[in-house]
């Protein structure tokens, strides 16, 4: 049975390992290895993840026994309008089809709703098949963005939103 737990700072290496295991299958054909390496270093360095914990990001780990299958990370981004952002949701390729992503997104929905959130937003690469997962979960495309992340790399994303 898959269970969820709130991650602690001790879980930073686990989060980094899951990201490293999932990004190539999710993004290699879309953005290439150089941009994957750059983004993993920029977004998943120990220091960056520690900063996210310190800034109040909540990470949920999906596991079954000794096996960790994925994680989600979210935080509040709009205090006045109570908007939250799903920053990360990744499931290791060998666990795809087990419902892990659905369990994670449903728990994020529950926690955001319980915290009085009005909406949950996320960015997803326009060519990432995860867009279909988010559409099925009830998100709608709010806008299209192209974000310069440095070193000549861009994120070509949809901003998607789920309203409570």
CA 56 – CA 75 distance, rounded (Å): 7
Domain count, the chain: 1
Residues 64-83 have pLDDT tens digits of: 999 999 999 999 999 999 99
Summarize pLDDT for 84-141 with one digit per residue, the tens: 999 999 999 999 999 999 999 999 999 999 999 999 999 999 999 999 999 999 999 9
- The pTM of this model reads 0.96
| pLDDT for res 122 | 98
Residue 72 is predicted with a pLDDT of 98
CATH number of the domain to which 68 belongs: 3.40.630.30
Give the residue from 89, 87, 57, 83 showing the smallest Cα distance to 70. Answer: 89
pLDDT grade for 27, boundaries at 50, 70 and 90:
very high
Domain housing 58: 3-163
């Amino acid at each position: 049975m898959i269970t969820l737990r709130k991650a602690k700072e001790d879980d930073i290496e686990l989060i980094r390992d899951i990201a490293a295991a999932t990004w190539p299958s999710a993004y290699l054909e879309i953005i290439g290895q150089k941009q994957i390496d750059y983004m993993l270093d920029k977004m998943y360095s120990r220091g960056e993840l520690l900063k996210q914990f310190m800034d109040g990001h909540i990470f949920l780990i999906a596991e079954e026994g000794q096996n960790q299958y994925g994680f989600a990370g979210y935080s509040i981004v709009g205090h006045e309008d109570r908007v939250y952002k799903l920053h990360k949701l990744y499931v290791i390729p060998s666990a795809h089809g087990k419902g892990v992503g659905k369990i994670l997104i449903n728990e994020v929905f529950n926690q955001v709703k319980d915290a009085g959130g009005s909406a949950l937003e996320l960015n997803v690469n326009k060519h990432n098949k995860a867009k279909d997962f988010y559409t099925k979960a009830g998100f709608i495309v709010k806008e299209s963005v192209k974000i310069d992340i440095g070193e000549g790399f861009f994120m070509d994303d949809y901003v998607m939103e789920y309203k409570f």
